């Protein structure tokens, strides 16, 4: 039972990342009909927003500290971050420590701007082109963005720690009545799952309960009719592209303490997340979220030592096996609209 609970927690953790990226992919496909293979790059850029903010917060000046000396007795030169001068040492240290949560505020406008520029500058020219053309151009864009990040930040992963308050693990076993230290899970992974749930809930609430969201949903169902009503649906869809980019970026920001940012992390998640979208149903937001968590849990259970002892390597292919089965039996996906991917 302890192992089962732990694998469910691991699955929810992986599924949170899959679901957030797949949610953005589905928003773009559902509104614009574009298969965006650059979406994983947006996840990567979000992670590097946290890296960039961390570097900005640690910009410092060099001073000579007479109270400290080296082995020769010379005063040491120390680096004093500028945030210490602005906010004081204690507050400045806290700001640096909370770099990752603060990066959310930094990443939102950056990611929306990148999404809008991407849509207006490139994607809009491929609305009426075949999906193969869309895949090629967005995949090429992803490679370009990946190489830009590699050029400026290097090829090695950049550790970006969580705030000190969330370092360590939570004893789930004790809370559920098991022996202490039987089910231990990192605090930040729990926070990531909670954060994903909040973002997913906010996106669904925005689409369901706001006038803007209702118009977008109407445009997804019948774009021409909405345009005949005098509504500039293209402008709203452009903003939805920016929102989808922000969702992917925020997923990347909060994932940095779990997986140190590197230039290829977007590609690592893109293929898996696209499989999640296909399994859930192209254009189905609930399907993308449900499939993300479902496949995350399946992958987690397939990674158990007992399973790998019987079927080595199953954890590497389980998601693709499920996708094959779903597409053979239900081509439109678990919650896809009838007729989508069934021609």
List, for residues 292-340, the tens digit of each pLDDT value: 888 888 888 888 888 888 888 888 888 888 888 888 888 888 887 665 5
Return the exposure string of 125-162: e unless at least 16 CB atoms fall within 10 Å of the residue's CB, then b.
ebeeeeeeebbebbbebbeebbeebeeebeeeebebeb
β-partners of residue 28 are none
pLDDT reported for residue 337: 66
pLDDT reported for residue 207: 86
On whether the CB atoms of residues 171 and 183 are closer than 8 A, the answer is yes
Residues whose CB falls within 8 Å of the CB of residue 289, separated by 6 or more in sequence, listed in order? 19, 22, 23, 200, 280
Q: What is the dihedral of CA 46, 39, 313, 6, to 10 degrees?
A: 50
pLDDT reported for residue 339: 53
Closest among 37, 24, 47 to 248, alpha carbons compared? 24
| 236-261: average pLDDT | 91
d(CA 161, CA 101): 11
d(CA 323, CA 277): 10
**pLDDT for 342 beyond 70:** no
What pTM did the predictor assign?
A: 0.87
On whether the CB atoms of residues 25 and 36 are closer than 8 A, the answer is yes
Q: Where are the beta strands (DSSP E) in 229-287?
A: none
pLDDT reported for residue 96: 92
d(CA 174, CA 152): 46
If phi > 0 it is left, if psi is from -120 to 50 it is alpha, else beta; for residue 314 that is alpha
If phi > 0 it is left, if psi is from -120 to 50 it is alpha, else beta; for residue 84 that is alpha
| 250-254: average pLDDT | 93
d(CA 91, CA 89): 6
- The percentage of the chain sitting over the pLDDT mark of 90, rounded to a whole number, equals 26
The 10s digit of each residue's pLDDT in 9-40 is 888 888 888 888 888 888 888 777 788 888 88
d(CA 134, CA 127): 8
CA–CA–CA angle 328, 289, 14 (5° rounding): 95
**pLDDT for 44 beyond 90:** yes
Q: What is the 3-state secondary structure (H, E, C) of 9-69?
A: HHHHHHHHHHHHHHHHHHHHHHHHCCCCCCHHHHHHHHHHHHHHHHHHHCCEEEEEEEEEE
Structure tokens at 321: 């096996």
The 10s digit of each residue's pLDDT in 71-84 is 677 777 778 888 98
Cβ atoms within 10 Å of 339's Cβ, excluding its own: 8
């Amino acid at each position: 039972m302890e192992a089962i609970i732990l694998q469910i927690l691991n699955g929810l953790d992986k599924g949170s990342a899959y679901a957030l990226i797949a949610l953005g992919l589905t928003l773009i496909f559902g509104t614009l009909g574009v298969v965006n293979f650059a979406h994983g790059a947006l996840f990567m850029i979000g992670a590097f927003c946290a890296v960039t903010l961390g570097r900005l917060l640690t910009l410092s000046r060099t001073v000579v500290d007479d109270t400290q000396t080296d082995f020769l007795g010379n005063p040491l030169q120390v680096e004093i971050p500028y945030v210490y001068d602005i906010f004081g040492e204690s507050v400045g240290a806290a700001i640096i420590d909370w770099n990752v949560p603060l990066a959310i505020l930094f990443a939102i406008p950056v990611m929306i701007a990148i999404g809008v520029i991407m849509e207006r500058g490139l994607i809009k020219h491929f609305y009426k082109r075949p999906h193969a053309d869309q895949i090629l151009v967005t995949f090429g864009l992803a490679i370009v963005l990946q190489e830009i990040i590699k050029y400026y930040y290097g090829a090695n992963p950049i550790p970006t720690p969580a705030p000190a308050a969330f370092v360590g693990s939570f004893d789930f076993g004790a809370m559920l009545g098991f022996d202490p230290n039987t089910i231990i899970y990192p605090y930040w992974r729990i926070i990531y799952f909670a954060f994903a749930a909040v973002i997913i809930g906010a996106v669904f609430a925005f689409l369901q309960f706001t006038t803007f969201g209702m118009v977008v949903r109407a445009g997804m169902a019948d774009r021409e009719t909405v345009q005949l009503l005098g509504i500039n649906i293209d402008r709203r869809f452009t903003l939805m592209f920016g929102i989808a980019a922000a969702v992917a970026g925020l997923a990347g920001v909060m994932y940095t303490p779990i997986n140190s940012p590197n230039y290829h992390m977007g590609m690592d998640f893109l293929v898996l997340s696209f499989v999640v979208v296909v399994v859930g149903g192209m254009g189905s937001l609930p399907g993308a979220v449900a499939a993300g968590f479902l496949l995350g849990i399946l992958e987690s259970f397939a990674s158990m030592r007992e399973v790998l002892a019987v079927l080595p390597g199953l954890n590497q292919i389980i998601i693709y096996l499920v996708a094959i089965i779903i597409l053979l039996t239900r081509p439109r996906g678990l919650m896809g609209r009838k007729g989508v991917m069934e021609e």
